[in-house]
Structures are given as C-alpha cells and as structure tokens.
Structure 1
Amino acid sequence: MHSPSRLGRLGAFSARHPVWVIAAWLLLLAGAALGRHLADPTYSDQIALPSTQSRTGADLLARSAPGVGDPSGRVVFHVGSGSLAGHRQAVDESRADLAEMDHVTAASPVVTSADGRTAYTTVSFDRQVKTLGHGYRDTLDAATAPARASGVEVAYGGDLNQVVRPPANDKASEAVGVVAALLILVLTFGSIAAALLPLATALISVGVGIGVVGIVAGTVTFATAAPTLATMIGLGVGIDYALFLTTRFRQDLIDGHDPVDAAGRTAASSGRAVVVAAVTVVVAMLSLYACGLSFIGRMGLAATLVVAITGAAALTLVPAALGLVGRRIDRFTVRRPVAETSGSQDGWHRYAALVARHPWKFLTAGTLLLGLFAVPLLSMRLGHVDDGADKAGSSTRQAYDWIAEGTGPGFGPGANGPLVLVADLHHATAAADRIGAELTAALRDTAGVARFTPLTPSPDGKLLISTLTPATGPQTADTGSLFTRLTDTTLPTALRGTGAEGYLTGSTAGQLDFRDTVKDRLPLIIGIVLAAALLLLTVVFRSVVIPLKAVALNLFTTAASYGILVAVFQWGWGSGLIGLSEPVPIESFVPMMMFANVFGLSMDYEIFLLSAIAGTWHRTRDNTLAVGTGLAATGRVISSAALIMTAVFLSFAASPTVVVKMLALGLAVSVILDATVVRLVLVPAAMFLMGRANWWLPPFLDRLLPHPGEAAGHGEGPGRARG
C-alpha cells in the first residue's frame, strides 16, 4: 500500500499533466479492446469435480461403455391435438437427419408418450455441446425441417440449451444502470460537469478491465456470467470511488486550494481510503480460489481484474480529469452546489446528535430489522436452476414442459433430469446376477424413484448400468433428497458385502454433487474472508474493537441479503417483477459468490466512514465528536454512492440469466441495507456506546503489526467536516 505522500504526489502529477494521463488511459482502452478481439476469449459453464462420485461414474462409463456417457441433448416433437402417428414418417426423417449432423455420434430411437402427442430422440455428440456454438441451431433447424413442415412443433432440451438459448445480452442493463447513475450524480452534485466526470472515468476503467478479462479468457476459461458480474461490480465501485474523490476535490476548491493542490490532497486522503477499500474487495474475491473449484475462483478473478483496474484509475485517471476540469467542476448547474457538510448544525450533525442521545434504541431497532430480513435464510435450499425457469415460449422451456407433461415411460417431471446408475464390478466378489438382483430390489423399495431401466452389463462386463427417472423435477427438493438417499443409503446397503461400488452420474448428479461440494466449502471461504478483513482493518485503524464490530455488522448484512434472496427466488415473493416465471432454488454457488462480493463491497463504505471518524479521533481524542463529525462528513456521499451502486446492480436484474438476476438483486439489497441500516444506524450507535474502547489495541499487537505509513484517516478523512 502506498504512503499518503506518494499517493498525494501521484494525484498531483496526474492533475498537472491531465492530457497525457487521460491519453494513456484511452490508449489502454483501445489496446484492451483490440487484445480482447485478437485473444478470441472462450467462456464455459462446464464444471470439473474431481474425486466426486458423479465424476468417478462418468470416468468408468468412458472406459467401459464408450458412447453411454457422451454429451447429449433432446429433440422433442409435439402436436397440440391429435397424435403424432400421422406424422411418423416426417419425425423419422428428421431423426435420420439429426443422426447425420456434424459431431453427432447417435440419435436414439424415437420415444413416444402414452397419449401419442409428444415424442423425443436423444442426440449424442462427440464433444461438449457448448463448444458447437450458437450457430449450430441452424443445423438443428435444418435437420428437423421435415417434422415442422408436416405441422409438428419442435423444441430442443437437455444440453442442447447451450446452443439454442439466446446468448445473454446485458447491454440494455448496462445502459439503464449508466443512465440511472448519471441522474443520481446530477442530483448529488448539482452540476452536469461534476456528474459526468465520475461516470466517464468509471466507463473508461471498466472498459479497460473487461478488455483485460477478455484477453485473459483467451487462455483461462471463465464462466459465461463472469464478464457480466465483473462489469456490474466494476461500474459500481468505479463510480463510487470517483464520487468520493470528486466530492473531496470540490470541498478543497471551496476551501481555497488550487486545482492541482486539491487533486493531490484528495489523492493523499480519500485516495488512501480507495486503496484500502479496493484491496479489501480484491482479497475477498481472490479468497474464492480457496474453495478448490476453479469455476468459482475464476469468477472471482474476473471481478478482481476489473476492480484492481478501477482502483488504479481512481488514483490516476480521476485526479487527471479533476485537474483538467479544475474550477469548472460546477459548470452547467441544475441547482446550487453543496459542500461535503454545511457546518456543525446541518442535518447530518443533528442526526448524529440524535443517535448519540439514544444509541441503545437505534442499535436495537437496526438489529431487529436486519434480523427480520434474515429469517427466510433458515429455509434456504441450494440447487440448480433448470430449463423449467426459462422464459415461457422459449424452445428450452417448451421441451422441458412437453417432457414433464407427457405420460408413460420416458416422460414426467423427473425425465428432465434422469440419473445414471453405474455399479463398478472391477473388485466384485459376488456374481453380477446377484448384484443386479440386489440393486433392483433396493431401487424398487426406494421412495422417489418413478422408474428405472433394467441393469445392463457394459460391453466389457465390468459395469452394470441403469437409467433412473426421479418422480420429481431436477430442481426440486425431493430430487435432491432422493440423490442423497441413493448415494448415502440405498446403494451402499444394497452392495454391502459384494465388493462392488455404486455411483450416480449424469448432468443432474453432477449438479447435485456441485451443490454438496459448495455447501461443504462455504465455511472455509467465510473464515478466510473474515480473517483477512480483520487483519487488514486492524493494521489500518490500529484497533481491535473496530474490526470486530465491522466484521460482525457485515455478517448481519450478508444474512439479511440472503434472507431477501430466499424470499424472492425460492418463495416467489415479487419474483414476477424481475421476470421470473416460477420459484427456483438458490443456485449453488450464488451464496459463496455473494458473500465475497457483499463483504468486499460493504467494507468500502465502512472504510470511508471509519477513515473520516479516525481523522477526527486522532486529532481530538474525543470519540463522540469523532463519530458525529465522521457521520456528518460522509453521510451524504455514502448515501449517494450506495444509491448509485444499487441502481447499477438492479438494472442487471433484468438479465435473461437467472444467476445474474440473483447476484444483481442480492448485491443491490446488501448495498442499500449496508449504507442505511448498518452505516447510518448500527455503526454510529455501536461506536457511541463503546466510547474510547473503540480505539483499544493491546501493546503487544501494536508492536507486532506492520505500520504502513500513516493509517487511513489519521489525517483528514475522505470527507473531513469543515466549518
């Protein structure tokens, strides 16, 4: 971390040479865009789960029964009335054409429902379906043209959703977020020039960051949602960092400093808080690698790259833009510009005095409110959002519904998520017939199994294979319970004493294994993030109590955010407002991603508030004055920053991707709760109650901990109050 003087010199240099610094950033933007184009980035949601039973089962199939475990999808045929019998020739012709497509290894015989209105064929591929690209839909449409020409409806399901589902396009969400941020900035600053500056610098830095993510994606495969998540977080923190700096710069101008000096002072004070805030977010994001799942870790890496670049822009590009605009920062006013605080009798000072008179009341009310929001968390159910949550009328949703509504073998809700049972006979001490009989009897007695195919030996005789159809859909709690029951009880009990081992594999089994893996490793991520935050804040603020309080309150924020997420997505409260057609489980990795994001982002506001409080404390040693002054100095700017970040996040709730909706809503809720209930109620109330104990640091820790120059806020805070 840079010392304050170095940050001040960097800010002053940037303000003194604004054209060169801005030109350098624009050159970086162009280079990043070109590099992203040349790198030909790839994105995939394929998840590797080594050592899990679904992966073991898949590997056994690949060795002993080539083709059985190949990637596959379903092509579903349907007529609204009558029967498919009159269209049989056209359906068979389409199945034959499907079998001849590039990369297809087989197209299974057509399976028809009992009522004759729905049929499907399973198409197997020699590679992951995702790699075929969205253009492969034209090939599918050409192959199924005979069926459609005869009046049959056709839809694509299973893994084919990866090529027929329209690519997520969140450009409209980005545009809405930018416009909303601009309106809030205009209202905050009162001038067009001051509002455009944070927005322009954030867009440039995020553009560079996304370009870098694309370049890295040329060699490292990110999840498909990673660029959207990185853009969402980058825009939020980029605008916020620039907002804090611009607010402080305007105050220094009002106090009589020239623009270059004001930019240097801004970088030396608020810039220091930006560094601490950005480092906190980066540490939280990179901690996701500790879960051992590269899919999740790389999503954190994508966000880290953008946050680090926006932090660098806040220390160079923003001061350069401030130096270039100078005293013209308040040009084109729409109302009278205001300073950080209007004096000791303004509204924020009066509010701080009110909290100081009734700290227990404020602390109790805030805690009860967050506790109420957190109640739904107790019923959180992790799972995978399947095609049943896709937009009504889409090809994937139609295929899902037709299979679920069909009757007879191969149909019903569970047919959308079958499980493949693999019995490994390599070390079996009992005959295969006996093992098959034991498994058959056990499966018949297992509640939740709608049907299963006869256990069939693999070509080399080393495996017994069966396909199980659950009685319920793949994203339901009952199917998750069935999976656990089969793997923990049914299979081990049936195979006990035979030397054989049983595994469940397939897409649904893989998703449920992923759910269990994430659930097991979430406590590790929480522990790492908490420990890193405690250490960082202890070093920065030279206190033990302040970091403990910050961590505890951020846990409250996270719990409340989780609770609201459960209420909206799992319980369905207001889900129609964000375009969700039915209640869904919470996607397995969302809580882990949200924890790292919420913790990192909420620390931004904590650091800016505490920096202002610490500035007055180290100057006066008066805790009541320090808390009141810090709250008054940062209350308006933190509220505005939170409103901007909330607007940006909420704009992404319109994304067609359900996981993006979850992250967007969860982050928006967490930011608004953190900036209001936590930052403006719980933090000041707790600090008023603890008094001088806030600043206690055992002497032995003071000797052990590094002293990175002047800690954040020991001088002037990011928004020190002025008369």
Structure 2
Amino acid sequence: MFAWIGHFVYRHRRAVIVIWIVMLAVGAVFAPGIMSHLKAGGFAETDSEAATGSRILEEELGLSPSSLAIVFYSETLTVDEPRFEQQVNTALADITGIPQIREVITFFNSRNPRMVSADRHTTYASIGMNVDLDEARAIMPEFMSNLHYDNLEQVKMLVTGQPAVYYDIESISTSDLTKAEMYAFPLCLVVLVLAFGTLVAAGLPLVMGGVSLVITIGMLSLLSRVTDMSMYVMNIVSMLGIGIAIDYSLLIVNRFREEIAGNNVEESVINTTSTAGKAVFYSAITTVIGLLGLISFQFMMLRSLGIGGAIVVLVSLMAALTLLPAILAVLGPRINALTIFRGKRRVQSGFWHRLAIRVMKHPVVVLMIVVPFLLALGSPFLDVRFGGSGVTVLPKEAPSRQGFEILEDEFGEGETSPILIAVRTEKSILGTEEIGAIYDYASELSRLDGVVRVDSIVTLDSYLSREQYQGMYANPSLIDNPAIKSTLSRLTSDTTTLISVISNRPPVTQEASALVKEIRNLRPHEAINVYVTGLSAEIMDIVDKMYRDFPKVLIFVLVATYFALLFLFRSVILPLKAILMNVMSILASYGALVFIFQQGHFSNLLDFSPVGSIESSLPIIMFCVLFGLSMDYEVFLLTRIREHHLETGDNTASVALGLEKTGRIITSAALIMVLVAGSFGFTDILLVKAMGIGIAIAILVDSTVVRSLFVPATMRLLGKWNWWMPGSGSGLKGRSHGK
C-alpha cells in the first residue's frame, strides 16, 4: 500500500500540491474566526447530585446560572463614608441596562453586613446573570465597557467570578499561543539545520508544520459551529500540530535523502513512503488511539482535546504521506541545496552503535540501574493531590484572580464558594414537620468539623428554638420582620429551600471534598430530600466520574495499541515491551508534575505560584496524549531494527545498526517535540504550562533513557523471542542470533 502511495503521488505530484494549496487557502479563510466559537468550561455533568441540586436551585429559586463579583476596595476610605458609596454607585450605574444582567446586589442596596470586610475598607457587588457561562463570557467586553473605571478616584475595582475568569483565560491563551509559537519555530529551525545541514531540507518540515496547523484550525473553526469545542483545544492543536508535523516530515525527508543518494527520484519517493511512510503511519495510528480515549469521555473539554488532537495528527500524517513526497518528487536532488555544512556519517562505528553494543554487553546491570531510576522519577506521584481548574490556572497579575484572592483574604475562603444544599419536600416547605426536619439537619451541619456557619431559613436568629421556627412559619403572612420576610422570599419556593454551608476549607481542595462527603453521609429526616451542590461538590462529582471512566479508556488504549503494533512488528513480545516502556515514561512524567507543580520546585524559574495540587484532569489528558506520542520514537526505532533483522536475522547487530541509523534523526525529532512542548511551559495558563512541561519531560525520558538504554538491554535479553509470532516461526529460525 505504501509503495502504491509513493508511486501515485510521484505520478500526480503537481495535482497533489495544488489540492493542498486549495486546502490551505480554505483553512486560512476560516482559521482566524475560531476563538469566537470556542466554549468556556467543558466539565458539565448533568446526572450527578451536584448538577441535580444546581438545576433545582435555578428552576425553583431562580438562582442565577452564572454570576460575577465586583470587588471595591480603598486604602483610605471605608464603606461608611459617602464618597465610597458614591463611587461604587457611579461605577455600576450603566450595567443594569445590559439585558443579560438579572440583579445587582451591593452592601448599599441590601445593607447585608456580610458584604463588608472586617476593616470596612472592602466590599463587593454580586451580579446575577440570566444566561449560562458561555453567554456570560461572550458579553464580558460589553460588561467591562459599561463599568466606569474613570470615575474611580480613591476606590479601586476588580471584576471576578467564572465569566471573568474564562474571559481572562481566553485573552491570555491567545497571547500564550503567539508566545509559544514565537519560541518554537526558530528553535525547531536551528535543530533541523543541525540535523540536515541544508536550508532546503531543514525548511520543509517547518512548512509542513505550518500547513498542518492552518488546515486543522480551519477545520476546527467549521466544526465548532456545529458542536461545542473547548477553548483549550487551541493549545493542544498547536503543541501537537507543530511538533508532530515536523517530526513526521523529519523522518520522511531524512529517508528520502538516504534514498536519493543511490536511486532515481521515483524510486526514492517510493522507497521512502514504503519505509519511513509506513513507520509514520503506525506512529500516527498509536497517537490517534490515545486521543480517541479522550473522545470517549462525556466532558466537552476532554472530548474537544481528543477531537482536535486526532484531527491535527491525521492532517499531519496526510501531509507527510502525500504533500511532502510530492514536493520531494519535484525537488529531487535539490533537497540538499543551500548546504551550510556536510555531516560525516559512520554507520558501523558511530556513537549510537557503540552505545548499543556496550549496553547489550551488560543488559542486566543496565536494567538494574534504569528501572529504579524511572521508578524514582515517578515516586512523587504517590503523594498526588487533585484540585480544580478554577482561578488558580491564571497568573497572579490577572484581574479576575486578583479580585478573587482579595475576596478570599477579606471575607474568608469558604465565604466565596459555599457548599450549597437544595432541600426539597413532598408537602409545603414551611410545614411543621418539614421545618423541624430542616432545623435538625442544619444543626447537624453546624456541628461538622470545618463548618463556620450555616445560612438558612432556620438559622436566622440563634435565639430562636426549633419550636419557635415551626410556630413562626406556620403563619408566614404574620411575619412582620422585613429581614426575615426578604430571606424567606429569596430562599424558598413552595417545596424547595436553600441551605448554605460556609466552611474554613478552601474550595476545590481535597479538604473541601472531604467535607462534602461528610455532608452527603448525613441522613436527614424522611420529610426532606437534600442535594449537595456548589463548586466543591461539582468538581468532586466531575473528578469521580472521570476516574470511574478512566479504567475503561486505559484498557481500550492499551489493547488497541497492542494490536496495532502486533500488526506492524509481526511480534507478540515487542508490542508488550513497547507498552511497558511507554508506561514507565508516562509515570516518570507524572512524578515530575507532582514534584514541580504540586510541591512547587522550580516555580520561580517557570513563573507560577504552586497551589499544593495538580489539576484533576491533567493525568488523564497526559496519558491519552503521551501514550501514542512517546510511542512514536519506539516505533521509528523498532521499525528500523526489524528492517535490518529481516535482512540479516542477527538480533544484536540489528539493534546496534537500527540505533545507529536512527540515532541522530530520532534525537532531532525528540528534541523538536521537547522544544515545542517546552515552549508552552513558559506560557501563563497553569494547566497549559503543566501540560507542556509534562509532555516535554516524558518525551525527553523516552528518547534518552528508554531508547538508548532500556530498548537495547531488553532486546538483548529477549534475543530471538523479540521476533516470536505464533504460527510464523519468526525469530525461531534462520540466523536468529541472541548474542
């Protein structure tokens, strides 16, 4: 098949190039508009207890589906001074005219004492919106333009809340992509020039990377108009699009240069697609298999990354198998034009050959060193703590993060994100039995460790007893206290009420999740049904759902990859060994993530503030992306080893020769991927930074320790069994030297 592709592309090389130019032009038309169609969030869970509770509160009590908080603070004025109130009212004067704004609650129109900090220099406005998160994010430019910053003198203002956080993520992500690409392309060019020594050969992979990226973004722009796609898809597409497209092209160009030295152009193209093209194809298949694991999740964010990643890999593959051979067919020997320097090639005595021979002389010793080393790299993952992807993914200078941190500092961590409990009854919520049950339940909540306060219709006054609340609510029309009447109107419907639990535990942490579990373990009276929700409960339910589904994804990726490699290598053992080595590389990167981003090592160098946890979806994303990606270099190497083994039947010589033949080019390919992924390590969004660093570490470990030490050692120990395939006799006959 691959020889036929080479033959077809050579015969129709100009037509192939024209088709790709048209595709590039179409992609360039649609690519610029993609950001306006991408969505925020992406972890909605419709069937969980937290989702059910949120839905009840929205439908029954009219809680806003999204909200903002505007923080006002002053170093000189207190909220009690008229100038403070005047500046707040002036700043907010025009936002009520925005149709999506449902309500604006401030200390000055509610006189709620809990909206003022202890030193009385800080307050906030709660902005309820009647649209979901994505629509709220979309109107943020209009919202911000309606705030009167210019009229503020001694009072400062910051906007926070989920819509503001995602608005900042969007704007920072756009600049991050530009920054990463600005670093990646020049660094890749340097590596390619060092690898090839000629500007033409070095430039082609960069062209393929750019073409693949533009076409993929254009396709995703169209796709995002008919299905929801996460804003994070741009990061994974850029990272994989640049790195993989260049890597695949690097392999193709390198093999073509070898072939053109002794064959005509047509034979060189056909031989290149038959060998390097086949290796690239199976590398792409293993990468796509991993990304398909992400597509299987019900969460839009993970699904988007899987779809975007799979598309860019497949586009890069198609470019490597069709566009690049067509260009090579036109260039022919001119692929070596504009030579900067000529490298010396020594097949039988080069560095990689000598290293392989030395490793294979002492395989047991090498493995006794390498395996503990990899396990040590992964060991920090034993202490992993999962957290959410909230405001902490932003850099400290982001306005929404600054506003959120002021709220936490001045009003308490639990005050900004309370645990919410939707309480439902069969009969009237104000019935005597129901109020008694709610009172008992609220009392149990208040006794839990970590609970600071319980806000509800039965905790308005600590001097009122259970019986007094029952009596008061038996005739609600007789209540003359305006504060109680207002609270009753706001927190109840016929059969629903809201209980808010304020704790001293930071939201979206394991401590907060533990409190949510304690609350859910309480058994209230049968007269009431409770649904625990709020940010911490939502994140906990999402994480539980993700990790319930992860084992199924894990099995799918491992089994599918095994059979793909079984078909490629015609060996039962090599795919198992490749998967084992891949897992070791991924575990090492997991350990590095915990060491760096949870424990905070190198935080100054990488310019981030550690939060004591890693984002809960990161290990899943890393596994699905890395499993195929780090497999690339194993496939490239073992394909070349198998090629020599089929010619000679000598296992040891084939390993040494395969490592030598691919050593320089795989090192260059891996270095490119490390540089591309590492470039994202210097971006500002913490999730993207961690993903870039994690991928770079895994590729570095895989392309150095695993490829140069683990592979030769295990290949030597297994000997002829490397090539065993039931029914074929592979590896058990002929010159199958295990020495």
TM-score by length of 2: 0.88
Do the aligned partners of 1:389 and 1:580 also contact (CA within 8 Å) in 2? Answer: no
Hey, what's the Cα distance between the residues in 2 that align with 1:426 and 1:290?
Answer: 38
| Aligned position for 2:399 | 395
Do the aligned partners of 2:385 and 2:612 also contact (CA within 8 Å) in 1? Answer: no
Give matches, 1:185-584, under 5 Å.
185-254=192-261, 256-339=262-345, 342-388=346-392, 390-406=394-410, 411-426=411-426, 431-455=433-457, 458-487=491-520, 489=521, 492-493=522-523, 495=524, 497-584=525-612
Return the offset for 1:571. 0.5
Return the offset for 1:201. 1.6
What CA deviation, in whole Å up to 9, does each residue of 1:241-283 have, x standing for no partner? 11111111111122x1122221111001110111111111111
Match of 1:679 among 707, 713, 721: 707
Match of 1:107 among 100, 104, 108: 104
> Does structure 1 residue 24 correspond to structure 2 residue 27?
no
Return closer, same or farther for 1:127/1:599 CA change in 2, 3 Å cut-off.
same
Do the aligned partners of 1:33 and 1:208 also contact (CA within 8 Å) in 2? Answer: yes
TM-score by length of 1: 0.90
RMSD of Structure 2 on Structure 1 (CA): 2.3
| Aligned position for 2:465 | none
What CA deviation, in whole Å up to 9, does each residue of 1:339-394 have, x standing for no partner? 5xx22122221111101101112212221221111011101112113324532333
> Does structure 1 residue 33 correspond to structure 2 residue 37?
no
What CA deviation, in whole Å up to 9, does each residue of 1:404-423 have, x standing for no partner? 221xxxx1122232221112
Letter of the aligned partner of 2:451 in structure 1? V
Hey, what's the Cα distance between the residues in 2 that align with 1:189 and 1:444?
Answer: 70
Give the share of equivalent positions with the same residue, in percent. 28
Return the offset for 1:17. 4.4
Do the aligned partners of 1:18 and 1:324 also contact (CA within 8 Å) in 2? Answer: yes
Ranges in structure 1 where 5+ consecutive residues have no aligned partner? 704-710, 712-723
> Does structure 1 residue 8 correspond to structure 2 residue 8?
no
SS in 2 for 1:698: coil
What CA deviation, in whole Å up to 9, does each residue of 1:144-169 have, x standing for no partner? 447x5242110011123233553412
Letter of the aligned partner of 2:134 in structure 1? K
Return the offset for 1:84. 2.7
Do the aligned partners of 1:389 and 1:581 also contact (CA within 8 Å) in 2? Answer: no
What CA deviation, in whole Å up to 9, does each residue of 1:46-76 have, x standing for no partner? 432021011110121133212x243111011
Return the offset for 1:93. 4.2
Return closer, same or farther for 1:96/1:446 CA change in 2, 3 Å cut-off.
farther
Do the aligned partners of 2:252 and 2:273 also contact (CA within 8 Å) in 1? Answer: yes
Give matches, 1:51-90, under 5 Å.
51-66=47-62, 68-86=63-81, 87-90=84-87
SS in 1 for 2:296: helix
What CA deviation, in whole Å up to 9, does each residue of 1:154-191 have, x standing for no partner? 00111232335534121121121111111000111111
Do the aligned partners of 2:455 and 2:499 also contact (CA within 8 Å) in 1? Answer: yes
Match of 1:42 among 33, 38, 42: 38
SS in 2 for 1:318: helix
SS in 1 for 2:75: coil
Ranges in structure 2 where 5+ consecutive residues have no aligned partner? 108-114, 459-487, 731-739
Return closer, same or farther for 1:647/1:465 CA change in 2, 3 Å cut-off.
same
Letter of the aligned partner of 1:484 in structure 2? K
| Aligned position for 1:714 | none
Do the aligned partners of 1:616 and 1:629 also contact (CA within 8 Å) in 2? Answer: yes
What CA deviation, in whole Å up to 9, does each residue of 1:266-303 have, x standing for no partner? 00111011111111111111122333334312210111
Hey, what's the Cα distance between the residues in 2 that align with 1:350 and 1:62?
Answer: 69
| Aligned position for 1:708 | none
SS in 2 for 1:517: helix
Do the aligned partners of 1:49 and 1:514 also contact (CA within 8 Å) in 2? Answer: yes
Do the aligned partners of 1:385 and 1:585 also contact (CA within 8 Å) in 2? Answer: no
Hey, what's the Cα distance between the residues in 2 that align with 1:99 and 1:468?
Answer: 30
SS in 1 for 2:158: strand
> Does structure 1 residue 149 correspond to structure 2 residue 152?
yes
| Aligned position for 1:716 | none
> Does structure 1 residue 638 correspond to structure 2 residue 666?
yes
Hey, what's the Cα distance between the residues in 1 that align with 2:166 and 2:642?
Answer: 52
Return the offset for 1:141. 4.7
Give matches, 1:694-705, under 5 Å.
694-699=722-727
Return closer, same or farther for 1:430/1:370 CA change in 2, 3 Å cut-off.
farther
Do the aligned partners of 1:362 and 1:681 also contact (CA within 8 Å) in 2? Answer: yes
| Aligned position for 1:667 | 695
Letter of the aligned partner of 2:680 in structure 1? F
Do the aligned partners of 1:54 and 1:504 also contact (CA within 8 Å) in 2? Answer: yes
Letter of the aligned partner of 2:417 in structure 1? G
Return the offset for 1:19. 3.5
Hey, what's the Cα distance between the residues in 1 that align with 2:270 and 2:364?
Answer: 40
Letter of the aligned partner of 1:343 in structure 2? V
Do the aligned partners of 1:69 and 1:506 also contact (CA within 8 Å) in 2? Answer: no
Match of 2:140 among 136, 141, 144: 136
When the two structures are aligned, how many residues end up with a matched partner? 683
Letter of the aligned partner of 2:228 in structure 1? T
Hey, what's the Cα distance between the residues in 2 that align with 1:551 and 1:606?
Answer: 10
Do the aligned partners of 1:134 and 1:164 also contact (CA within 8 Å) in 2? Answer: no
Do the aligned partners of 2:370 and 2:709 also contact (CA within 8 Å) in 1? Answer: yes
Deviates more, 1:531-540 or 1:128-137: 128-137
| Higher radius of gyration, 1 or 2 | 2
Hey, what's the Cα distance between the residues in 1 that align with 2:616 and 2:709?
Answer: 32
Letter of the aligned partner of 2:129 in structure 1? F
